[in-house]
Amino acid sequence: MGKDVVVLIGPMGVGKTTIGKKLARALKVEFRDTDAMIVAEHGAIADIFAKLGEPEFRRFEEAAVASAISEPGVVATGGGAVLSELTQSRLGSTTVVYLSTDGRHMASRLANGNRPLLQNGLDDWRRIYEERKPTYESLADITINTSNQTMASALDEIKTRLTKND
């Protein structure tokens, strides 16, 4: 792996955490999830949104991403982490893997989640994804379309593409 940090970006529910954990295991490196880091330090994300608002959550997120990418490993980010210009510039020192999707499987993946930005469910998810897609695409060193493949298959594709990017 050329760059020591692999960062997974993409929409809510696409599988960044699940794939990230497996990728880290396969590469024998640390795994860090920025949402989990925020929860550990500041409490539930839904509560942060409710009590402090999205801007404060985004500040926590910037700090979590900066910390997560400061050491070698695999990092899963929240879907909106890429909204920060500071985070975007920081990701330049990493290998960014964008997990894209056609959205067909999102309803079942998002069904049980408590996601503050999805008050209107799948309609909100689609709108947010369309808004963020150009940013995901511009930051990506590697794009993996997860739509028509299993998690295992997506993981294999990432590992193959990472070795080609060295």
The per-residue pLDDT for range 2-58, each reduced to its tens digit, is: 469 999 999 877 889 999 999 999 999 999 999 999 999 999 988 998 899 989 999
Nearest to 100 by CA among 136, 70, 71: 136
User: CA 38, CA 43: separation in Å to the nearest integer?
Assistant: 7
Question: What is the arrangement of strands in the sheet containing 5-9, beginning at the earlier edge strand?
Answer: 31-33, 73-76, 5-9, 95-100, 142-145
CATH architecture label of 5-165: 3-Layer(aba) Sandwich (3.40)
Q: Could you tell me the two tokens for 106?
A: 């999102």
Domain limits, the chain:
5-165
Tell me the H-state helices in the chain: 16-27, 34-42, 45-52, 54-68, 85-90, 106-110, 122-139, 151-165
Q: How far apart are CA 69 and CA 74, in angstroms?
A: 8
pLDDT of residue 121: 59
Average pLDDT of the chain to the nearest whole number: 86
Beta partners for 8?
A: 76, 97
Helix (H, G, I), strand (E, B) or coil at 65: helix
Cβ pair 126, 14 in contact under 8 A: no
Question: How confident is the model at residue 113, as a pLDDT?
Answer: 54
Q: Which residue has the higher pLDDT, 144 or 108?
A: 144
Is the confidence at residue 131, as pLDDT, over 50?
yes
Mean pLDDT, residues 124-152 taken together = 88
